[in-house]
Amino acid sequence: MSGQEVDEVPGDRHDHDGPIVIAGAGGMGREAHAWLGDLGLASHVVGFAAGPDTPPGTTQLDLPVYRGLAAPHARFGPLHIVLGIGLPAVRRRVAEEAEALGCRLLSIVHPRAHVGPGVTLGEGVVVGPDAIMPRDNRIGTGVIVNYHATVSHDAEIGDFAFIGPSAVLGGHATVAEDAYVGMNASVLPMVAIGRGVTVGAGAVVTRDLDDGLTVAGVPARELHTPPQ
């Protein structure tokens, strides 16, 4: 997992320059737009990017919604992409498209988030208001740590994983890549969540989870339904 110390995150220094496109024109994308505004970066946003079915002329927040990244890339030159999409698989796909075009993933850390010493962030991370990462956390590429989430000391989050609003990871917990931790869920200290696992809203995960499971409840148990 590649990472950078948090004081190297462009959004955190408020000194970003160049056009920004928010990938995702839904609720998460609009939230990312608000958080860029809180960082003083809203004027850099030239539009949103969404899927191939986006009708021509679509707008969001009075900005154009492009089909994919190629069109804004052709128009504005090298872009910075903020990943405003909830689902890990879609975020990963967009990040690959961005890389193929030579666009850079921009990490944004809301000014009201607390990011302590020894925290490393991959590229394209989005950290929402009041999220807490007290110290020595490794956060992979394309991760979302949503508002009010807490990632306790030494916890690690793999690439493109999603940590929902008010979710709590205990100390030394690990969340593997592409996992989705629903809002208000808790993962006990030292527990390891496998790749692509979905943890339901409000669940309390007390044991390690194998790759690909969907769990819910207190304590969390496997649901006999396909993952979302």
Asked about 114 being catalytic, the answer comes back as no
Are the beta carbons of 227 and 212 closer than 8 angstroms?
A: yes
Q: Bridge partners of 127?
A: 109, 145
Nearest approach, Cβ of residue 151 and ligand COA (Å):
16
Q: Which one from 110, 114, 148, 153 is the annotated catalytic residue?
A: 153
Closest to ligand COA by CB, 6 vs 126, is 126
Residues that bind ligand COA (CB under 6 A): 164-165, 182-183, 198, 200-202, 214, 216-217, 223, 225, 228
Smallest separation, CB 161 to ligand COA (Å) = 13
Reference 112, options 99, 128, 93, 91; nearest CA is 128
Q: How far is the CB of 69 from ligand COA (least distance, A)?
A: 24
Least CB distance to ligand COA at residue 29 (A): 13
HSE of 92, CA atoms in CB hemisphere, 13 A: 14
Closest CB to ligand COA among residues 78, 217: 217
Angstrom distance (rounded) from CA 199 to CA 65: 31
Q: Residue 152 or 214: which CB sits closer to ligand COA?
A: 214
Q: How far apart are CA 22 and CA 37, in angstroms?
A: 12
Which of 43/228 has CB closer to ligand COA?
A: 228
Q: Which residues pair with 139 in a beta bridge?
A: 121, 157
- Catalytic machinery residues: 153
